Amino acid sequence: MSARTSPGLAGDRRPAPPPALRVQDVTVRFAGLTALGAVSFTVAPGSVHALIGPNGAGKSTCFNVLSGLYRPESGRVLLGDTELTGLAPHKIAALGVARTFQNIVTTEGTVADNLMVGRHVLTRAGFAASALRLPGAVREQRAHRDRVREIAELTGLGDHFDTPVALLSYGDRKRVELARALCLEPRVLLLDEPVAGMNGAERARTAEVVSAVRARLGLSVLLVEHDMGLVMSLADEVTVLDFGRTVAHGTPDEVRRHPEVLRAYLGTPGADPAPAAAPAPGEDPV
């Protein structure tokens, strides 16, 4: 499968709106246990869509299906008209779906080194041309590095561009992962608990970065997160899972008052756990 043309290498033109990401009746079972049961939702082009639910609800299983790590027993995943169901992870990445993980996954070296890893699928020069530093390969490498620096600036990592990742704070290392995913030039970005383990200031900064990325790059974001303040402030739509099934879907304000959501999180249907105004990013989650 050929790599997509990088918007950054084509003069930093704003890319066309991404296609919708559609999850249709996806079912996943492990040894008879249903991890996902006919789950369906659509990530609208250019939107932030949150996937929430208690621990064990099936959120990570869903992300693993979308990124190609798991093959569903039934159902489909479509990016526009392109079938993603059952494709290998690298093929899904080449089609424009990038993800981060709950745990930090970085390599040794600097921020720049880590972000350049994200450009691999967009590199056209072969190994021999790069090793021999042929003129075309050198030009391409320079263009990729320039784009990587732009993404570092966008995500607040510009001042750390040449800093070893091991010397960064926890919050900055989490943002390195986000930036590396963006270096793939995705049309859909899957963020798996991007503020897990962060303090309040780091959470607020990451929320700002996600908003800036969506506005600047025009991509779609599917977000799994337990911090309800961040979810309610960022998401356009929310899908709620519980025990592998969809229990609610709608705007953040609609979802937060849904009786099934109250039951899943609090075990007490009918009582509103929070005031009408959504808590700010960094506050304690529901």
Q: Give residue 268's pLDDT.
A: 56
Residue 151: closest CA among 183, 119, 114: 183
pLDDT single digits (tens) 136-192? 556 677 777 889 999 999 999 999 999 999 999 999 999 999 999 999 999 999 999
Report the domain count for the chain: 2
Residue 20 is predicted with a pLDDT of 97
Same domain, 198 and 79: yes
Same domain, 144 and 285: no
The Cα 151–Cα 50 span in angstroms is 23
pLDDT of residue 256: 87
Same domain, 231 and 202: yes
Q: Are residues 169 and 197 in the same domain?
A: no
pLDDT tops 70 at residue 274: no
Instruction: Give pLDDT, residue 272.
Output: 45
The pair phi, psi for residue 21, each rounded to 5°, is -100, 115
Residue 76 lies in a domain: yes
Residue 189 and residue 284: Cα distance in Å, rounded? 25
Q: Could you give the CA distance from residue 5 to residue 28 in angstroms, rounded to a whole number?
A: 34
Q: What is the pLDDT of residues 17-45, one digit of tens each?
A: 899 999 999 999 999 899 999 999 999 99
Share of the chain above pLDDT 90, in %: 64
- 4 within a domain of the structure (yes/no): no
Domain-terminating residue out of 153, 184, 215: 184
